[in-house]
Structure 1
Amino acid sequence: MKRRIIIGWAAAWALVALRAPLVWASPFQFEVDPFYAETMLKGRFGASPVYFFIGPSPTMEKGLLAYIQSASQTLDVCVFDMNLPAVAQALLDAQKRGVKVRVVLDRDNAAKAYDIEDELEEMEKRGMLTLAHNRSGLMHNKFMIADGIRVWTGSYNFTRNCSHFNDNHAIVLENKELAENYEMEWKEISEGRHGKRFSYPTPHPELEIGGTPIRNCFTPEDDTRGAIVAEMAKATNEIAMMAFSFTDSAMTDAIRAGLKRGVRAIVLLDSGLAKHPGANTKELEEMGAHVRMSPGVRLHHKVIVIDRETVVLGSANFSGSAFDRNDENVLIIKAPHFAQAMLREAIRCWRAEPYWITKWRTPIPAGM
């Protein structure tokens, strides 16, 4: 039986950092309130810097703005939803200072983005904006590529809800091969090439960043479901999952098979979608998984931590729509220290009290 330990990612990486000095300049030079200390974590895969953001927190939008401001030559954006005025303005400002900025935004969400309608109109005038429409599913990605090397991705839409209310994550990685993968996905969607038949092949589906193995999948063209199920089948100790939507039968079968092998299954579900008629919540409970409904406003993570060594994350919910019809992206990262950090977030979400309690714990100034 493996030792069950939980350590802070930052603390774990501090040990790694002793072996060699930090040699990169971080683009995220902003102050983080001590209350939100674990909402921005920094580390390395080998010599390559990695940044990890967790929400809801002010850090999400700060990190997003800093990422946009870090671009010096090119910035390609592909996001399902955006309504933050400061972010839309930052994209315009980047283009004004000479960065080649190209933005792909879901057409239906753009039509409802009333808070940034002026900024979107200006983007159209400048030729920066493409509106995506996947007729068979959703253009559900949330990624950016800066300067052909730095990739931002995760579950985080560029919205007020995702910044301030929803449980979310974003990761920033530096690697040219990974950036090439995401550039190809950006090109595909900007050209309206939705679906398996029209997609471009992923240039580097398997790669390493500083010795850390990474599998990069895009739906629906890649076998993302198969890649995730294959990782779950390797579990010998624990499968911990945070899911906004979990309806996929193959992944449900993988949990069942794991339980039969003696693997512990911990599943945290969004309280709204867990009660949907198509959800497999009851089935998971009956097979012996530890299941809980998130007390938060919305659990928007799409994360699996396997044996505290491998992390599955990205934009894709664990559903047939995500795997077979939507435009999505997923990373499978084998990095124990990062897995520990993600597990800490799972524990926070599992143990969290309902968010409405926070309001009533807010101190009121004397005399009010």
Structure 2
Amino acid sequence: MYFFSTQWRFSFIFVVILTLTACQRGQSKNKRLEPLPQDPFVEVYFNHSESSQYLEPYRQQTRQGDNLEKLIVDTISQAQSTVDVAVQELRLPKIAQALVDRQKAGVKVRVILENQYSLPWSNFTHNKVNKLEKRKQERYQDFRRFADINQDGKLSPEEINQRDALVILGNARIPLIDDTADGSKGSSLMHHKFVIVDNRFLIVTSANFTMSDVHGDFSNSSSLGNANNLLKIDSPELANMFTKEFNIMWGDGLGSQADSKFGLQKPLRNPQTIKLGDNKITLNFSPTSPTKPWSQSSNGLIEKTLNLASNSIDMALFVFSEQRLANILELRHNANVKIRALIEPDFAYRPYSEALDMMGITLNQKCKYKKGNHQWKNPITTVGVPLLPKGDLLHHKFGIIDSKTVITGSHNWTEAANKGNDETLLVIENPIVATHYQREFERLFTNAKLGIPTKIQQKIKTQEKQCPQQERV
């Protein structure tokens, strides 16, 4: 199967791409699509996939999508020597238990978390919960319902030991640090989401290891989880690059030396490119100091990749606020490249959103506009927001160029991700991989709300009256 001819493979992919939109628009809500072929080294999965379904393990409901938690657990469970996990948040007990099981089998396990998410939910006091923002308070209450197995309104030690992932890790004394291990109060954000097994197998995803990012909110049966993607990669060469990144952050781990390095304390690494079967993969880790050349940063790599587009650019992004990337997109648009963009609704219409520039409009904050803001002179109407189940977010961070190259990882298209956060960015050149992302984009785009909502149009008119002279900052 792996050795089929290049001509046949590309012909097949061409047909698939041409029919993706038509096929998906013709789908009934419950009809499943045929699975796409997977590359032998780089497999692609989506928790909202229409070509698969699974029995969700906690709510015990059959739903569409790939079971991302099981993919992570299965990869961990095959470990013979090492498992390294770097993820912003880890709350799924089956992943925690898989790590414990491998440690009991003699496998070396290490975990790095973001410090804001390194406290077990069951350790939150009443006062601490009250200080949380609304969304986090909702997630805490969702955890309590999830952990309350016998539904008596109380959490017993037995229930906590089964359902609180960080308690499971702590009970087993799994070595774990967060981004305060460097002696600071924490980096901008330890936003990685990767797993390395035996310095060969990789999980790289946009999803945190949580109910809301993988399966869906426990108390909302219609939730399918925030829309996310996951890559499973078989490559010792690429895994070695991730291990180096992990070791920089790990330092001596739980030792006495504050030699862990996060954020801008990490040494500068330029983007690295490898060949893996039919894949050409470029990897870069954030952040990059603003004193260094833009081309060496992750956003610089995104810009370089976008600039290669000759036919199309499709984007599904949690947040898009990097002005330089919007500017390069405008240049590609003016060169007759077809551009479509979907942005998470919570961020699409904020004053800093580049979605506004692409649609040729501007919003301000107290009559002040973002520095360098540039709305397109020839705006497009193919920008909008997806329709997702209530409570779910568009959490992807991917772009597809000419239906053959994919930009993906944990890296949001923002200045903060580029200059402050610990992030992963992958650029994968392979039409087979790109076809998976193209199908996901078409699924989202088919029912998306495009253009400028009436509410935003009214807001612009109000601001024009309030701020007759625009002040750029």
Deviates more, 1:281-290 or 1:210-219: 281-290
**Would you say 1:232 and 2:291 are equivalent positions?**
no
Q: Where does residue 141 of structure 2 map in the other structure?
A: none
Q: Where does residue 219 of structure 1 map in the other structure?
A: 286
Preserved CA contact (<8 Å) 1:6 1:344? no
Residues 155-198 of structure 1, C-alpha deviations (whole Å, 9 max, x = no match): 01111011121110010111121011100111112233123443
The equivalent position to 1:131 in structure 2, one of 167, 173, 178, is 178
Question: What amino acid does structure 2 have at the position aligned with 1:130?
Answer: I
The equivalent position to 2:114 in structure 1, one of 86, 89, 106, is 106
TM-score relative to the length of structure 2 = 0.64
Q: 1:352 & 1:105 partners in 2: Cα distance?
A: 36
Deviates more, 1:324-333 or 1:184-193: 184-193
Q: 1:77 & 1:227 partners in 2: Cα distance?
A: 25
Q: 2:280 & 2:66 partners in 1: Cα distance?
A: 31
Q: Where does residue 332 of structure 2 map in the other structure?
A: 258
Q: CA deviation at 1:276?
A: 2.6
Deviates more, 1:110-119 or 1:151-160: 110-119
Higher gyration radius (CA): 2
Residues 216-242 of structure 1, C-alpha deviations (whole Å, 9 max, x = no match): 010014511111101111111111000
CA RMSD between the two structures: 2.6
SS across alignment from 2:118: helix
Residues 2-43 of structure 1, C-alpha deviations (whole Å, 9 max, x = no match): x995617xx9xxxxxxxxxxxxxxxxxxxxxx97777x8662
Q: Where does residue 145 of structure 2 map in the other structure?
A: none
| Unaligned ranges ≥5, structure 1 | 12-33, 355-368
Q: CA deviation at 1:90?
A: 1.1
Preserved CA contact (<8 Å) 1:41 1:52? no
CA 1:136/1:116 → structure 2, altered by over 3 Å: closer, same or farther?
closer
Q: 1:37 & 1:72 partners in 2: Cα distance?
A: 36
CA 1:246/1:70 → structure 2, altered by over 3 Å: closer, same or farther?
same
TM-score relative to the length of structure 1 = 0.81
Question: What amino acid does structure 2 have at the position aligned with 1:67?
Answer: T
Q: CA deviation at 1:58?
A: 5.2
Structure in which a larger fraction of residues adopt strand: 1
Question: What amino acid does structure 1 have at the position aligned with 2:248?
Answer: E
Question: What amino acid does structure 1 have at the position aligned with 2:430?
Answer: A
Q: Where does residue 200 of structure 2 map in the other structure?
A: 149
Q: Where does residue 274 of structure 2 map in the other structure?
A: 207
Q: 1:314 & 1:324 partners in 2: Cα distance?
A: 16
CA 1:161/1:41 → structure 2, altered by over 3 Å: closer, same or farther?
farther
Q: Where does residue 213 of structure 2 map in the other structure?
A: 162
Q: CA deviation at 1:261?
A: 0.4
SS across alignment from 1:140: coil
Question: What amino acid does structure 1 have at the position aligned with 2:80?
Answer: S
Q: Where does residue 43 of structure 1 map in the other structure?
A: 38
Question: What amino acid does structure 1 have at the position aligned with 2:111?
Answer: V
The equivalent position to 1:87 in structure 2, one of 92, 95, 118, is 95
Preserved CA contact (<8 Å) 2:286 2:422? yes
| Unaligned ranges ≥5, structure 2 | 1-10, 21-29, 49-64, 123-163, 216-224, 252-259, 289-295, 361-375, 450-473
Q: 1:148 & 1:36 partners in 2: Cα distance?
A: 36
What does 1:1-368 align with in structure 2 at a 5 Å threshold? 7=16, 43-44=38-39, 48-56=40-48, 57=65, 59-111=67-119, 113-114=121-122, 115-123=164-172, 125-126=173-174, 128-133=175-180, 135-164=186-215, 165-191=225-251, 192-199=260-267, 201=269, 205-221=272-288, 222-286=296-360, 287=376, 288-289=379-380, 290-296=382-388, 297-352=392-447
CA 1:197/1:81 → structure 2, altered by over 3 Å: closer, same or farther?
closer
Preserved CA contact (<8 Å) 2:384 2:448? no
